Structure 1
Amino acid sequence: MSWRVVHITRIDQLSLHLNSLKVKRGDDELKIPLSDIFSVVIEDLSCKITSRLIIELVNHNILVMFCGPKHLPEAQLMPMSGHHGQHKRIMRQLEWDEEKKGRLWKTIISQKIFNQSRVLDRLNVEQDRINRLLMLASEVEDHDTKNTEAQAARLYFHSVFDDSYQRSDDSIVENAALNYGYAVVNAAVARTISAKGLLPSVGVHHKGERNPFNLASDFIEPFRPVVDAFVMGNPPEEFLTKSYRLQLINLLHCKVLINGKMQTVIRAIDIFIGSVIDYFDENWAVEKIHLPNTHKLQFHEL
């Protein structure tokens, strides 16, 4: 399974050499086998990239993210085709049962809130707040009709930041860090969705008309606390340095507990989405879905 995450900055050109990504800067060259690469994050706005390389990156189902002037991911490269049984899988996806969607969304949000409680525990937040989150996790209903997710979010973020904190305030450097980390994980989820032949624009819960990745917006939820745990435990200073951004990108390599084993986030995303497909296609019970658990979260060392 591919595992390398390649971060591109201050590079002259990216091109293809045999079955490798060739990175060129001045007279220096580096070659990385495409089979080793999970994703490429391009932050250099002046870097040249050949069309031949783009085609091969797509053919190898490598996640490619392009960042803007503020270093935040702005776009990603997605293949026109992916899974060998894509048409059949999409047709099944369009027929996913609404009741099963409701139960799935309840399960996803319950696990997200539970994972948030593990983050608070990791940060030594008072037990009363953790217990209140656990209570909310147990109260989520099908389709989250009472919007328990939002109630939990207010308690969660105000347990770490002060009561004046606004998640939507772009001037707060912690929000910039969270947004960067979420964007990286969301892109990895979207890549896996496409690789498995699903239609990323058709969500289980999210239905944004202008969101081409509604399904990724659904499936990222239980993974968000991975980003939260890093940012809240290691807050950035005045701005996002290159070193800090690299650590956010490498959250894809940290390990979570899933299906009884510690797995990288990259692998956990694949396991989770595969189990969701089985839940719908093989009529699995919702309890059999493999969800990431941040109880024993292990960060990847650079």
Structure 2
Amino acid sequence: MSYRCIYIRSADKIRLKDNNLLVLNDEREVTVPLEDISMILIEDPKALLTVRLVASLSSYYIGLILCDEKRNPISITLPLHMHYKQLHVFEMQLKVKKPLNSQLWSYIVKQKIQNQRKVLEFTTFDEFAIRNLINLEHEVKSADKTNREGIAAKIFFDGIYGKYFVRKQNADDEINSALNYGYTIFAANMSRVLAMYGFNTILGIHHCSMTNNFNLSYDLLEPFRAVIDQYVYQHLDELAYPLPKDIRIGLIGLLQSPIRINDKIYRIENAMEEMVLSYIQVLEKEDSRCLALPFLIKNESNDEVEL
């Protein structure tokens, strides 16, 4: 089972050598077996990649993330031929009935709010926010028709980052930049796992944007966001814009941190795979109760590789 997240900050050339990733620069050469890798992030805009390597990464279901000149993730590669039952999985996605999706989304939102509450209990212990999140979790209805998710998000971010913090995408402040970076890394890994099991990521459970190719990825990502929220709070004093290298590495390494799912402790990237496998059961049995959801735990661990 792949387990290594490879972060490449600087490289002259990146190519394939005997089923190994080979990174070349003026100072050294580094090789890593492809079978050990789950994801590669490349920051260097001058690095040269061979087509043979990119094709091999797809064969191993390795997510390749490319960054822009500001070192922000901007692109991910996914294989075209993803799974031996790809048509079967796609047909199941097309046949999903609205009541099933509505129930699934309510489960996901409840777990997201519960994990947000856990973050507050592990960090600021804002009693007002915690109490309100408990109430909101119990108020979630089918399809979250009353938008408890949005209300909970406002209370949560006030409780952890302060009442003057405003959550924004594509913002250039330190906190939002760190959150956006972490969410993008997690969404990329979720997309990789979904592709590995033959899912079309455009067809979401709740998200249905015509311009988002990863609606399903962001649906299943929601309960995992709290891991990033907690990390960013714990490193507030180290944040800057642009994000420091150590923070970027730490956010990537969160994929190796522990979380509980199905009453067992998994690395987050493996927990995502468990969640996707359970989603297949949901579609096959048309039973939302089959969905395995992640529960935040206090411990965290980073295990990344820098080249």
Q: TM-score range by the shorter chain?
A: over 0.9
Contact 2:124 2:160 in 1 (8 A): no
Higher relative contact order (CA 8 A, sep 6+): 2
Partner of 2:257: 254
In structure 1, what is the Cα distance between the partners aligned to 2:239 and 2:264? Answer: 34
Contact 1:63-1:191 at 8 Å conserved across structures: yes
Q: Quick one: distance in 1 between partners of 2:137 and 2:86? A: 35
CA deviation after TM superposition for structure 1 residue 27, in Å = 5.9
Question: 1:217: how far off?
Answer: 1.3
Displacement of 1:289: 2.0
Q: Which amino acid aligns with 2:254?
A: L
Is 1:13 the counterpart of 2:13? The answer is yes
| Partner SS, residue 71 of structure 2 | coil
Q: CA deviation at 1:126?
A: 2.6
Counterpart secondary structure, 1:16: strand
Cα RMSD for the two superposed structures: 1.3
Secondary structure of 1:290's counterpart equals coil
Residue by residue over 1:157-208, the C-alpha shift from the partner in whole angstroms, topping out at 9 and shown as x without a partner, is 0112232221117132010000000000000001111111111011110110
Q: How big is the shift at 1:138? A: 1.2
1:203 is matched with 204
Amino acid at match of 2:53: L
d(CA) in 2 for partners of 1:127, 1:161: 14
Distance 2:249 2:302 in 1: 11
Contact 1:111 1:222 in 2 (8 A): yes
Pair 1:233 & 2:234 matched: yes
The aligned residue for residue 191 of structure 2 is 190
TM-score (norm 1): 0.96
Superposition deviation, residue 301 in structure 1: 5.5
Measured against aligned partners, the alpha-carbon deviations of 1:79-108 in whole angstroms (never above 9, x if no partner) come to 111110101110111001110100000000
- Report the Cα distance in structure 1 between the residues aligned to 2:26 and 2:163, rounded to whole angstroms: 50
1:257–1:297 contact (8 Å) kept in structure 2: no
Q: Distance in 1 between matches of 2:227 and 2:27?
A: 39
Kept in 1: contact 2:223–2:294 (CA 8 A) = yes
In the aligned structure 1, how far is the partner of 2:85 from the partner of 2:144?
A: 32
Partner of 1:268 in structure 2?
Answer: 271
| 8 A Cα contact 2:279 2:290, kept in partner | no
Q: Deviations over 1:135-167 (max 9, x none)?
A: 111111111111110000010001122322211
Match status 1:223 vs 2:231: no
CA contact (8 A) 1:41 1:64 kept: yes
Is 1:129 matched up with 2:132? no
For structure 1, the residue ranges without an aligned partner over 5 or more in a row are none
Please name the residue that 1:281 is paired with. Answer: 284
Q: Distance in 2 between matches of 1:194 and 1:120?
A: 33
Match of 1:85 in 2: 85
Amino acid at match of 1:89: V
Q: Is 1:190–1:213's contact at 8 Å kept on the other side of the alignment? A: yes
Bigger CA drift: 208-217 or 124-133?
124-133
Question: Structure 2 unaligned runs (5+)?
Answer: none
| Cα distance in 2 for residues equivalent to 1:27 and 1:264 | 32
Aligned residue type for 1:293: F
Structure 1: which 4+ aligned runs deviate by more than 4 Å? Answer: none
Q: Which moved more, 1:23-32 or 1:244-253?
A: 23-32
Moved more, 78-87 or 164-173: 164-173
Residue 127 of structure 1 deviates from its aligned partner by 2.4
**Does structure 2 conserve the Cα–Cα contact (< 8 Å) formed by 1:3 and 1:36?**
yes
CA apart distance, 1:297: 4.1
> Partner amino acid for 1:74?
I
Distance 1:27-1:172 versus aligned 2 partners, 3 A rule: closer
Quote the residue 1:172 is aligned against.
173
Residue 140 of structure 2 is matched in structure 1 by 140
User: Matched residue of 1:294: which SS?
Assistant: coil
Partner of 2:297, secondary structure, is strand
Residue number in structure 2 paired with 1:75 = 75
Instruction: Look up the equivalent residue of 2:224 and give its one-letter code.
Output: F
Structure 2: how far apart are the matches of 1:193 and 1:176?
26
- Please give the alpha-carbon distance, in whole angstroms, between the structure 2 residues aligned to 1:277 and 1:137: 26
Q: Secondary structure at 2:5's aligned position in 1? A: strand
Contact 2:257 2:301 in 1 (8 A): yes
